[in-house]
Amino acid sequence: MPFDRAALAQAVAAHGTVARIVLVQVKGSAPRPAGTSMLVWAGGASGTIGGGQLELQSMRDAAAMLAGGPRSKLTRAALGPAMNQCCGGAVTVVTERFDAATVEALPDTYPDIYLRAVDPAAPPLADSFRAKIDRASGGTTPLAITLHGGWLAEPLWQPSRQVVIHGAGHVGSALARILAPLPQFRVTLADPRPGYLDDLPEGVSGVDAPWGAALHSAEDDAAHFIMTPAHDDDLDLCHRLLQRDFAFGGLIGSDTKWARFRSRLAALGHAPEQIARITCPIGARQFGKHPQAIALGVATQLLQFEPARTNKQVRLTQKERCA
């Protein structure tokens, strides 16, 4: 995951001083890949670097840092010999302490890379490493998290796809809650019915305008899931979706419903290859018909569809997004 300044600033605003733990190097087998991070504060935490003894010890180090320890710490550990974890790989962990002043003072030398010394004994930045960062900054491929001579560089942007869920009923709400924590998705839940957007999960935006408003304002490479309470509204959204750009279109329903919709969409002037871009039924039938089970199957389907990089990368400024 890239460095997320927005999430960090939000945690600092809520909890005061916060420690951030990030895996910067991984060799061999480990619970999570390099770039994975979590936040720790007095009495709480968010995220995970994989659990087990590695996370437990890292959280203890973070707690000591919050109590007045060094502002940054670099730790190397072999998971098998040092922590008795079956993974058997080796990791390098950086832990840093942040408060409101340090968040505000984060360097902005590069618009898309966060560079800083994380080892108190780090020598001056090597010319070769600076040249590498200069080449990567502004490029089309994000820099992988890189530790070099006590200096750490992290990307400040990541691919992400907008997911628009049309309908906040049982399945739509369950799907939003499953997708909300995943950093590769930005979830919009749309429903004009009063009260249906009153308890949105953190990170999910709501659109309470008439059906189709969220479709009209969606990004060209968004994924859409159509699950309104009325078949006529579902059909209208499918018809309108096929008149614009989108990456993935999913419709909740049975084989019978989809056969009728294909016929009606063809009558509305859509070619068979266009209609085939919509997936119906969505999800995995073997998971069952419970709303949460359907949502889990749909989320699995989307994760399998989602490529390593999306069609459009969303580049954000450092003051907007950085973890």
Rounded Cα–Cα distance for residues 118 and 132 (Å): 18
H helix or E strand, kind and range, residue 265: helix 255-267
| Domain range list for the chain | 5-155, 161-305
pLDDT tens profile 210-237: 999 999 999 999 999 999 999 999 999 9
Residue 260: predicted pLDDT: 97
Token pair 């550990």: residue: 77
Residue 83: predicted pLDDT: 60
Span 258-287, mean pLDDT? Answer: 95
Question: Looking at per-residue confidence, does 86 or 5 come out higher?
Answer: 5
Question: Looking at per-residue confidence, does 87 or 280 come out higher?
Answer: 280
Residue 34: predicted pLDDT: 93
Residue 285: predicted pLDDT: 85
Residue 311: predicted pLDDT: 33
Token pair 């119906």: residue: 280
CA quadruple 36, 222, 290, 257: dihedral, nearest 10 = -160
pLDDT(50) > 60: yes
Residue 318: predicted pLDDT: 32
Residue 306: predicted pLDDT: 56
Residue 284: predicted pLDDT: 86
CATH superfamily assigned to domain 161-305: NAD(P)-binding Rossmann-like Domain (3.40.50.720)
- Percent of the chain having pLDDT more than 90? 67
Rounded Cα–Cα distance for residues 184 and 271 (Å): 32
Report phi then psi at 226, rounded to 5: -105, 115
Beta strands in 181-303 (DSSP E): 185-190, 205-207, 223-226, 248-251, 278-279
Residue 158: predicted pLDDT: 61
Residue 138: predicted pLDDT: 80
Residue 257, burial from CB neighbour count under 10 angstroms (0-12, 13-18, 19+) = middle
Residue 323: predicted pLDDT: 34
Helix 231-241 and helix 255-267: axis angle, to 10°?
50
Residue 277: predicted pLDDT: 96
Span 126-130, mean pLDDT? Answer: 94
pLDDT tens profile 281-316: 998 888 888 999 999 999 999 998 854 333 333 333
With cut-offs at 50, 70 and 90, classify the pLDDT of residue 317.
very low
- Percent of the chain having pLDDT more than 70? 90
Residue 316: predicted pLDDT: 34
pLDDT tens profile 186-213: 999 999 999 999 989 888 999 999 999 9
Question: In whole numbers, what is the pLDDT of the chain averaged over residues?
Answer: 88
CB atoms within 10 A of CB 209: 13
Residue 232: predicted pLDDT: 97
Task: Name the token pair of 196.
Answer: 């249906």
pLDDT tens profile 81-114: 656 566 668 899 999 999 999 999 988 888 889 9
pLDDT(320) > 70: no
Residue 213: predicted pLDDT: 96
